[in-house]
Chains A and B, each alone.
Chain A
Amino acid sequence: MATVIGPKHLMGAARMREILRRGAHICAFLGFATLAACGAPDGAVLETGGVYDPHEKANRNVHAFNLGVDKVFFRPASKGYTNLIPDPIEDSFNYFSKNLSEPGDMVNSLAQGRFKIAAISLARFVINTTIGIGGLSDPATDFGIPQTDTDFGETMAVWGIGEGAYVELPFFGPSTQRDAVGILVDFFTNPITFAVQNPLENAGVYAEILERMSDRGRYSDTVDSILYESADSYAQARLIYLQNRRFELADDDGDTYVDPYDDPFADIYEDPYAE
C-alpha cells in the first residue's frame, strides 16, 4: 500500500493534491473494500458542506440511543465530575490523557510525512513525562512547544482515502467511515495502551473516558444546545461534525465558500422592505 499511496513526503505537493482529488478512484482501484471509505462523493460537494449519509435511518437509531445514554448517564456524570473535581486536578487528568496519546500521534505524523510535527509530539512526550511528572502537567506548552493532535483518520485522509459515508457510532457519536476505521486502528495500535509489558494496565482507556467527561462537562452549554435545543439534533450534530472535521483536515486556502448572493434563492435580493 505504502508503495502506491505513500506518505506525503514521497511525492510533490501537486501530485499529492491530485491523489487527494482522485481519492475515491484510487480506493476503488486498490480494492480497498475493507475500508469501505470509498464510493463517497469527493471534492467540491463535500467542501461546501455536502452530506453523504446513505445510512441515515440506522444512524438516527444510534443517535436516539446516544441521546438516551447522554441524558441518563453521560451528561449527569460529566457535569458531576467537572463540578466536583477541582479544576487544577481535572486539568492534570486531561494533560495525563493527552500525554498518553503523544506516541500514537508521533507514529501517525510520521506516516503522514509530517516529520516536524512528529518531532514535536516526541519532544512533548519526553518533556511532559519527565519534568511534567508522568504527564500530569504540561511544561512543554510553557516552554513554547505547540500542542499537536492527530489520528489515523487524518493519516488516511493524507493518503488520499475519501471520508466515506457519515456514520454515528454508539457512545462515540458523529463520525465517518474513514474516521471510524481510524478510531479502531488508533485504539489497537496505541503503543502505550497495548504494550505487552504494560505498567499502566488500562490507564489509557480510563484517562480517555475522563477526558471525554471533562469535555462534556466543561462545554455543557454548547453540547446541550446542539443535542437538546435544536429542532433536529441529529442533523445539527452531523453538519457540525463534518464541517469541523473537514476544517481540521484541510490545509489549503481555496475559495470554496458558497456565495449566498449567487444562490438560486438570491434573485430575491431586491429590497426586502419594499412594498
Chain B
Amino acid sequence: MPSNTMIRRTFMGTAVAAASLSVLPVPVLALTESGARKLVDSLVADINKVIASGKSESAMIREFERIFAKYADVPIMARYALGVDGRSASASQVRAFTKAFQGYIARKYGRRFREFVGAKIEVKSARKIKSGYEIKSTAFLRGESPFEVTFLVSDKSGKSLFFNMFIEGVNMLLTERTEIGALLDQRKGNLDRLIADMGKLG
C-alpha cells in the first residue's frame, strides 16, 4: 500500500512537472481585469459543460478535479486551509496534503453537482482588489432565487488562477480551514494520519 501511494505520488509529481514545463516558456503576462473575467468565464463554461454532459457522478467528480486543478491555485488554497498547522509540516507533507486536498475538494463539491443541473452562472462585474481581482457572478439555480458567487483571481502563482470563492458571503477557504483544523484536532494534530484519511473524506 505505501509503495502504491508512492507510485501514485511520483506519477502525479511527474505529471504536474510536465504540465508546468509546458507553460514555462510562455512569458507571464500581468493579470488584467478582462483577463480575470475571461478566466472565470471559461471556468464557468467548463463547469456548465460537465453539468450538461449527464455523466455518472464519479465521472463528473473526476472532471471537476481536472477543472479545479486547471483553474485554481490549489497549492496556495491547500496551504491556507492547513493554516498555522502547516508551519511545522515538512515540504513533502505539504505536497502530499495539497494532493489530498485537491481530491477532497473535488469530491466534496463535485458530489453536489446534480443540484446544478439546469443552472447558469453569469459573470456580473470585475474590480481590482489588493490581492488581484474580484469577479462577481450570479448563479441561477432551477426553482431558487439567484444568489451571488464571487471569485478572487490572482497571478501571484505565475499564472492567472482563482484562489478563493464566496457563496453569498461565505468564504470557501475559511470554511475549509475550519474543517481541516477540526479534522486535525480529531487526530490530535497528526498530519500524516489526516493525509492518509483524506482519501475517504469529502
Contacts and interface: CB of A to CB of B under 8 A. Distances in A.
Contact of B152 (A231, A257, A264, A266): A257
A231 B17 contact: no
A246 B178 contact: no
A255 B129 contact: yes
A222 B170 CA distance: 13
A225 B176 CA distance: 13
A232 B182 contact: yes
A235 B186 CA distance: 14
Interface string A220-246: 011001000011100110011001101
Given A257-B152, A273-B16, A273-B20, A236 B175 contact: yes
Contacts of B16: 273
Contacts of B174: 49, 239, 243, 258
A172 interface: no
B37 interface: no
Interface residues of A, number: 36
B95 A240 contact: no
A230 B179 contact: yes
B51 interface: no
Chain B contact residues (Cβ within 8 angstroms of A): what range? 35 or more
Interface string A235-275: 11001100110111010010101111111111011001111
A147 interface: yes
Contacts of B152: 257
Nearest to B163: A260
B94 A268 contact: yes
Given A261-B131, A272-B95, A273-B17, A248 B169 contact: yes
B168 A239 contact: no
A239 B145 CA distance: 23
B156 A247 contact: no
A243 B95 contact: no
A257 B134 CA distance: 10
Contacts of B186: 231
B145 A49 contact: no
Contacts of B145: 147
A268 B91 CA distance: 9
Given A248-B169, A250-B169, A257-B164, 16 more contacts: A49-B174, A221-B112, A222-B112, A231-B182, A231-B186, A239-B170, A247-B168, A253-B127, A255-B130, A257-B152, A261-B163, A272-B95, A273-B13, A273-B16, A273-B95, A275-B91
Ranked 6 nearest A-B pairs via Cβ: A247-B169, A232-B182, A231-B182, A259-B131, A260-B80, A272-B75
